[in-house]
Amino acid sequence: MSTELHTRLIPRTGEAIPMIGLGTWQAFDVGATPAERAPRAAVLEGFLTSGGRVIDSSPMYGRAEGVVGDLLAARPGDPAALARPFLATKVWTQGRAEGEAQMRRSMQLMRTPRMDLMQVHNLVDWRTHLETLRAWKKEGLVRYIGVTHYQLGAFGDLERIATKESIDFVQLPYSIVTRDAEARLLPAAAASGVAVLVMRPFEEGALFTRVRGKTLPPWAADFDCATWAQFFLKFILGHPAVTCPIPATASAKHLADNLAAGRGRLPDAATRKKMIAYLGA
């Protein structure tokens, strides 16, 4: 099996990004002590040296943006030897001036003069912020723009925005047990040329509770799957509309496990049905 992370293309530009990213919700909302920072530094170092790039955060995630920025700035070694991180964050406030101020603050915290992806978090005042983001994209302050929401009830709004507003990314919840996005939202994103980031791929850990003490099916080896984390992530990546799941972790061991899902073979449509049935049984 190849040790290289597979990539998927951002439809708008054809830029390739690794298909496993890193979320920061809760995992990176920590203080400044060495005991708090060291595990996160190890995760970022392992992520980047293993070929990862997409790091997603938000001002809603407490201190996470600043922790990411600090650790990236302090990391040892030659940054030129690594692929440049693809930094993504969000705007989560009301009003144009407030939105602009928050986004500039996020860029300062993450220590970047240009954000790779800026998303409207949970569609808060999305019309106002998308107008700002289109202008910022023309100015070169952001490379890509998008929207997010964690609630299934918002999928109709996400679909309409993806199909009518010329965005680059949509971020949504999707997992082997929460497959609502398959009905309309994922097909709409694919048809509209919108990249898809997937949040909550493990249902905030509930999937691991569900399979505790259970063994993987022997046919999981057919798509180079050795753990339950890989099983859940490879299921998501088996959908061609998905660009990149972004599991959050503060564990270097869990990070390595997650990244392994981005290597080797992926399940086809028939196998994904078997995976659903196996988990259900």
List, for residues 64-104, the tens digit of each pLDDT value.
Answer: 999 999 999 998 765 555 668 999 999 999 999 999 999 99
Residue 28 above 80 pLDDT? yes
The per-residue pLDDT for 76 is 72
Confidence tier at 3 by pLDDT (50, 70, 90):
confident
The per-residue pLDDT for 1 is 59
DSSP per-residue letters across the chain: ---SPPEEE-TTT--EEES--EE-TTTT---SSHHHHHHHHHHHHHHHHTT--EEE--GGGTTHHHHHHHHHHH--S-GGGSPPPEEEEEE-SSSHHHHHHHHHHHHHHTT-SSEEEEEEGGGTTHHHHHHHHHHHHHHTSEEEEEEE---GGGHHHHHHHHHHS--SEEEEE--SS--GGGTTHHHHHHHHT-EEEEE-TTGGGHHHHHHTTPPPPGGGGGGT--SHHHHHHHHHHTSTT--EE--B-S-HHHHHHHHHTTSS----HHHHHHHHHHHH-
Q: Which domains occur in the chain, in start order?
A: 11-280 (3.20.20.100)
Model confidence over 204-254: pLDDT tens digits?
A: 999 999 999 999 999 999 999 999 999 999 999 999 999 999 999 999 999
Average pLDDT of the segment spanning 158-177: 98
The per-residue pLDDT for 75 is 84
% pLDDT > 90, the chain? 94
